[in-house]
Amino acid sequence: MSKPYKILAVGILACVLVVALTPYLWILLASFKGRLDILSPVPRWFFTPTLDNYPAVFIGKDYLPLVFNSLIISTASTVLSICVGAPAAYVFARTDFPGKEDLFFFFLTTRMAPPISIAVPLFMFFTVLGLTDTIYSVVIAHTSFNLSLVVWMMRGFFAEIPKEIDEAAMMDGRSKLGAFVRVIVPMAAPGLAATSVLCFILSWNEFLYAFILVAFEGRPLTVGIPGLITPHGTLWGQVAAVAVVATLPILVFTFLVQKHLVRGLTFGAVKG
């Protein structure tokens, strides 16, 4: 790469980085600011930091259980999506049957509808089942959109593994199911990891369905934030504290699997 080109590339990257990171830094700083510093009309980069916001919201307002709710919802919906979606993706990758591509496209279309258009029917559906205001309804709702992601991404990963591997495992003494569970799944582990992390993040960040389906019990963190908008004003410091805590698991996960994540995403794009 020539030198001016390189400078240009670095310049663009720097701009993108500033645009992407500024809001996050802003929130991070805000979570350590007192009320006066936050509401100051001129942004204050230098201020006396305070640790009050965190205990005020997580202990004072009892938001700590919401973190666990978020964890339970995201983990359960990820596990459920993988357990149901991965075998489906394997079938899409390995077998031919009439209407296969149509069915696959149908899975994708479940993600194309605007979420708000499904929200009300989903609420009525869970009302009939008596599941509204329970953590289960959110887990199932999140699984409904994560499932298509799993099928779409994992199909590409499974297709990467030659079908002779399945056959070799069967010749070595495995049943068809055994070959999938004991050989193909371990070989597709990087793909499974990337897909799981994406599912986890999507579920963790989801607001709309959770907001409509649960009001008190089983509220995740995202639904907790509007509770900090009070008639007496928005508690910006506490909002920032919740937001910072809410981004932590995603940061950790993404750093852990970023290599696989990029690989997984490009595979899905090419193969799917």
Partner 1 sequence: MAVSFREVTKRFADGTTALDRLNLEFDLGEFIVLLGPSGSGKTTACRLLAGLETPSDGRIELNGQDITSLPPRLRGIGMVFQNYALYSHKSVFENIAYPLRIRKDGAADVERRVKSIAELLQIQPYLHRKPAQLSGGQAQRVAVARALVWEPTICLMDEPLSNLDALLRLHMRTELNRLHRSLDKTFVFVTHDQEEAMTLATRIAVLKDGKLVQFDEPRAIYRRPANRFVAEFMGRPAMNTIDGTVEDGVFRAGDIVCPAECPEGPVTLGIRPEQIELAEQGAGGAMALVLDVKELIEPETLLIFQNRGNSLTIRTQRDCDGLRPGQPLGLRFPREALHYFDARTGERLR
Contacts to partner 1 by CB under 8 A: 96, 162, 164-165, 167-176, 183, 186-187, 189
Which of 130, 173 has the CB closer to partner 1?
Answer: 173
Q: How far is the CB of 163 from partner 1 (least distance, A)?
A: 9
Pair 272, 152: CB distance under 8 Å: yes
Which of 14, 189 has the CB closer to partner 1?
Answer: 189
C-beta neighbour count of 44 within 10 angstroms: 13
Of 140, 143, 138, 126, which is closest to residue 217 (Cα–Cα)? 138
Of 18, 22, 17, 208, which is closest to residue 123 (Cα–Cα)? 208
Which of 98, 231 has the CB closer to partner 1?
Answer: 98
Which of 49, 178 has the CB closer to partner 1?
Answer: 178
Pair 173, 135: CB distance under 8 Å: no
Angle, alpha carbons 195-209-206 (nearest 5°): 40
Please count the CA atoms within 13 angstroms of the CA of 170 that sit on its side-chain side: 9
Which of 99, 173 has the CB closer to partner 1?
Answer: 173
Of 248, 256, 255, 252, which is closest to residue 54 (Cα–Cα)? 248
Which of 71, 187 has the CB closer to partner 1?
Answer: 187
Rounded to whole angstroms, how far apart are CA atoms 221 and 69? Answer: 8
Q: How far is the CB of 171 from partner 1 (least distance, A)?
A: 4
Pair 202, 111: CB distance under 8 Å: no
Q: How far is the CB of 182 from partner 1 (least distance, A)?
A: 8
- Look up residue 229 and give its DSSP letter: E
Which of 102, 164 has the CB closer to partner 1?
Answer: 164
Rounded to whole angstroms, how far apart are CA atoms 55 and 238? Answer: 9
